């Protein structure tokens, strides 16, 4: 086998070494256009997981690395002159130049041909006489660019500028230092990588960088200016540059990683922001996987397919975490006013990989100090602290999210709804929400949707609220109703028969702000509502709210998200009106706010009212996160007690960035910028996630959906898992005998 490697970074070198070691008869040649001693950046951080893979695959390289490592386990966060330390993390780093030297030595010892100061031939040319071409040519990959029509790359440039420097001092922790300057917030990421040497990365928003004049400074002036800002941490040590230049981070994603005999690895295939230290880690792990698959499969196409199948999910997970971390630093300015320990906790958990529970395992004293600062009683998980909305005090921060059940007959909730909602009320959550209850027959999504538009509806709902407020369910459990109108997304089949698919018979006409169908040629073209029809629908909302109050609900939520009627007024993708209800965001908000006001007037003054919004359409030209802050602020000014922050489902061609707690950044931004309590929702699946979000100040309440379908007593079991028995959750008297988790099995 003949193998060509383009690029002499850690990924390319290690792939070459492993392939040669596994089969010495392979002819492997690596091209690197720079000299062997040339490198960019300074230190490299490797995780214990990556090191374990290296140790298993190549003990010789591992032994050489181990002799060079600088190890530490603390993270320091310095904000407004105060340093807070969290321990127990575990890091290993070494100089990037030394890492390359070790890999050079290993490659030479194995017989890999290294061609430095030599531009590699194009991948297409190499593929003609090589069995495998490995493109490890970095974030600016020429190979990726040359075959972009096949790899289909997406490159996103982000909003911060950063520069990679070094200082002649040995930090004793991974250090995050936040500096407030007349130009704006700047941050330093620093860590040791050799005795007497530390990496120093200085980062700031683009507009701060411009105001500070860094775009006009020479290299020496840049070093002096950065040194002055962070003089406390540098303690007089000069900053050094290695052809360093200010740049903006680029996230690289490719739809495909291989093309014929050519395969991308490392930054050529994917990038992850330096704030989680995963660039070299990913490249080395790519090399480990690729070499293993080539040796196992022999057939190159099969090996490349197996490599991508193995690595893609892991890389995607890392990129999601890196994106969350990157965005945390991009929006650092809005977090500056937090109490110091909460700020530190927020920073440490920014990627959603470090959580309340595993941070407590690493440094229980640190987490206890954060909880004390937040006023959380000792021994109380953050999720089990109370929260007040107007005249309603919720026992804990868990909400059973609104989930459509499509199981009503003529809008009437029946025995199923009593059992479904009653079981969740028994399950310990502070607030149980109904599905979207429709304000009219034509406002239903499906024939199975519940309603509040006929006399029998109110009576049926009263049966359910009476049960929740009755003697069996622990006192203090609240039940809320979500009301809405389907708009252009109505007259469709049950979810399990085809989401958003029109009924085959029995259709009713749908309406919207404009005559724009949900799916052209599939769904009905909605009737564009007249002023008179809008007044009628507004009155239907108000009548439903009054009915909900008589039915005994504790809280009402107005559904202004997910592309239903009120949401479709807000989005420019669905609202094409040219009257007072169309045009700019203020005009598009006018009708939803009119409905909100009518509902607020019909709803008792002492009971809270929330509103659910889609904080982004996940589509070009649609509602953005900036818009969402404006929308939330407007509803808050009209009397909303909290905003339930969801996203998307407005247009079918959306491109959501799914992932763990993926919608919470939108909620956090609204909470901080609009100054209104928020309910976070969206793949919040564990009690650890809830604790983390609440303690970090990203949300006030957490709506948990699918886990409550899996386990109606999810909240009670979360208390049992955490050995919590305080006032934040109560077991129903008939269930108390089961309040201890049963043993999984017996040992002989």
Among all residues, which ones are annotated catalytic? Answer: 564
Compute CA 114 distance to the chain's CA centroid, rounded to the nearest angstrom. 41
DSSP 8-state secondary structure symbol assigned to residue 738? G
Rounded Cα distance between 265 and 285, Å, is 9
Return the closest-CA partner of residue 570 out of 512, 502, 526. Answer: 512
Rounded Cα distance between 158 and 251, Å, is 8
Rounded Cα distance between 246 and 204, Å, is 10
Whether the Cβ atoms of residue 534 and residue 550 lie closer than 8 Å to each other: no
Whether the Cβ atoms of residue 214 and residue 186 lie closer than 8 Å to each other: no
Return the closest-CA partner of residue 300 out of 641, 308, 741. Answer: 308
Q: Which residues contact 340 (CB under 8 A, 6 or more apart)?
A: 79, 80, 82, 84, 373
Rounded Cα distance between 582 and 591, Å, is 9
3-state secondary structure 315-339: HHHHHHHHHHHHHHHHCHHHHCCCC
Helix boundaries (H) for 427-576: 455-468, 531-550, 565-570
Rounded Cα distance between 585 and 654, Å, is 20
Angle, in degrees to the nearest 10, between helices 585-602 and 625-637: 40
Angle, in degrees to the nearest 10, between helices 340-348 and 364-373: 130
Rounded Cα distance between 267 and 259, Å, is 17
Q: Which residues contact 511 (CB under 8 A, 6 or more apart)?
A: 442, 487, 488, 526, 527, 528, 529, 533, 565
Strand partners, 85: 76
Strand partners, 610: 557, 642
Q: Give the residue carrying structure tokens 């479904």.
A: 420
In degrees and rounded to multiples of 5, residue 110 shows phi and psi of -90, -15
Whether the Cβ atoms of residue 320 and residue 660 lie closer than 8 Å to each other: yes
Burial of 579 (0-12, 13-18, 19+ CB in 10 A): exposed
Whether the Cβ atoms of residue 357 and residue 688 lie closer than 8 Å to each other: yes
Return the closest-CA partner of residue 132 out of 20, 21, 34. Answer: 20
Whether the Cβ atoms of residue 406 and residue 449 lie closer than 8 Å to each other: yes
Alpha carbon distances (Å) from 478 to 369, 384, 486: 31, 15, 26
Rounded Cα distance between 253 and 452, Å, is 47
Burial of 422 (0-12, 13-18, 19+ CB in 10 A): buried
Whether the Cβ atoms of residue 695 and residue 687 lie closer than 8 Å to each other: no
Rounded Cα distance between 56 and 54, Å, is 5
Rounded Cα distance between 333 and 317, Å, is 26
Alpha carbon distances (Å) from 387 to 108, 342, 508: 64, 18, 42
């Amino acid at each position: 086998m003949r193998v060509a490697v383009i690029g002499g970074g850690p990924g390319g070198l290690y792939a070459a070494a492993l392939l040669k070691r596994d089969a010495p008869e392979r002819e492997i040649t690596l091209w690197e256009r720079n000299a062997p001693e040339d490198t960019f950046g300074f230190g490299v951080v490797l995780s214990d997981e990556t090191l374990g893979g290296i140790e298993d695959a190549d003990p010789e390289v591992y032994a050489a690395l181990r002799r060079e490592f600088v190890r530490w386990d603390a993270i320091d966060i310095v904000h407004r002159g105060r340093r807070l330390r969290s321990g127990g993390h575990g890091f290993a780093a070494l100089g990037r130049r030394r890492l390359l030297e070790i890999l050079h030595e290993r490659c030479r010892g194995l017989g890999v041909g290294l061609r430095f100061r030599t531009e590699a031939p194009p991948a297409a040319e190499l593929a003609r006489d090589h069995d495998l071409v490995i493109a490890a040519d970095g974030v600016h990959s020429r190979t990726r660019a040359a075959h972009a029509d096949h790899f289909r790359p997406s490159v996103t440039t982000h909003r911060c500028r950063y520069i990679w420097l070094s200082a002649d001092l040995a930090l004793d922790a991974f250090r995050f230092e936040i500096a407030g300057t007349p130009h704006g917030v700047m941050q330093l990421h620093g860590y040791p990588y050799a005795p007497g040497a530390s990496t120093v990365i200085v980062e700031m928003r683009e507009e701060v960088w411009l105001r500070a004049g860094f775009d006009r400074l020479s290299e020496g002036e840049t070093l002096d200016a950065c040194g002055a800002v962070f003089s406390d941490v540098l303690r007089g040590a000069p900053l050094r540059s290695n052809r360093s230049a200010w740049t903006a981070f680029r996230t690289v994603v490719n739809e495909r990683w291989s093309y014929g005999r050519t395969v991308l690895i490392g930054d050529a295939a994917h990038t992850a922001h330096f704030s989680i230290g995963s660039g070299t880690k990913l490249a080395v792990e790519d090399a480990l996987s690729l070499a293993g698959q080539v040796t196992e499969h022999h057939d190159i196409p099969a090996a490349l397919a197996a490599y991508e199948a193995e690595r893609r999910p892991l890389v995607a997970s890392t990129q999601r975490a890196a994106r969350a971390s990157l965005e945390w630093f991009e929006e650092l300015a809005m977090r500056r006013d937090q109490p110091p320990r909460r700020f530190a906790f927020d920073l440490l958990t920014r990627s959603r990989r470090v959580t309340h529970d595993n941070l407590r395992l690493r440094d229980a004293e640190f987490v206890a100090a954060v909880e004390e600062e937040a006023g959380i009683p000792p021994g109380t998980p953050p999720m089990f602290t109370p929260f007040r909305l107007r005249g309603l005090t919720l026992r804990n921060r868990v909400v059973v999210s609104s989930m459509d059940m499509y199981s009503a007959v003529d809008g009437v909730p029946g025995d199923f709804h009593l059992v479904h909602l009653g079981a969740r009320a028994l399950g310990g959550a502070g607030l149980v929400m109904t599905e979207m209850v429709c304000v009219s027959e034509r406002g239903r999504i499906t024939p199975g949707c519940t309603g509040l538009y006929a006399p029998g509806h109110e009576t049926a709902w009263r049966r359910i609220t009476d049960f929740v407020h009755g003697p069996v369910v622990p006192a203090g459990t609240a039940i809320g109703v979500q009301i809405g109108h389907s708009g252009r997304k109505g007259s469709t089949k049950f979810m399990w028969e085809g989401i958003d698919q029109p009924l085959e018979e029995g259709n009713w006409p749908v309406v919207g702000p404009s005559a724009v169908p949900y799916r052209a040629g599939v769904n009905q073209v909605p009737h564009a509502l007249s002023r008179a029809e809008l007044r009628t629908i507004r009155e239907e909302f108000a009548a439903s709210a009054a009915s909900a109050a008589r039915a005994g609900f504790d809280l009402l939520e107005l559904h202004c998200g997910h592309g239903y009627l009120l949401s479709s007024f807000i989005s420019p993708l669905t609202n094409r009106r040219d009257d007072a209800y169309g045009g700019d965001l203020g005009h598009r908000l006018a009708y939803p706010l009119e409905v909100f006001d009518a509902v607020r007037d019909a709803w008792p003054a002492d009971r809270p009212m929330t509103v659910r919004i889609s904080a982004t359409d996940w589509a070009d030209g649609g509602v953005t996160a900036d818009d969402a802050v404006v929308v939330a602020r407007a509803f808050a000014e009209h009397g909303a007690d909290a905003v339930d922050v969801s996203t998307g489902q407005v247009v079918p061609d959306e491109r959501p960035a799914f992932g763990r707690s993926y919608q919470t950044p939108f909620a956090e931004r609204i909470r901080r910028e609009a100054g209104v309590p928020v309910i976070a929702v969206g793949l919040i699946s564990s009690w650890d996630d809830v604790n983390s979000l609440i303690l970090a100040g990203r949300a006030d309440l957490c709506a948990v959906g699918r886990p409550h379908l899996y386990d109606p007593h999810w909240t009670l079991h979360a208390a049992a898992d955490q050995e919590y028995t305080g006032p934040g959750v109560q077991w129903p008297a008939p269930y108390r005998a089961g309040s201890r988790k049963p043993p999984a099995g017996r040992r002989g």
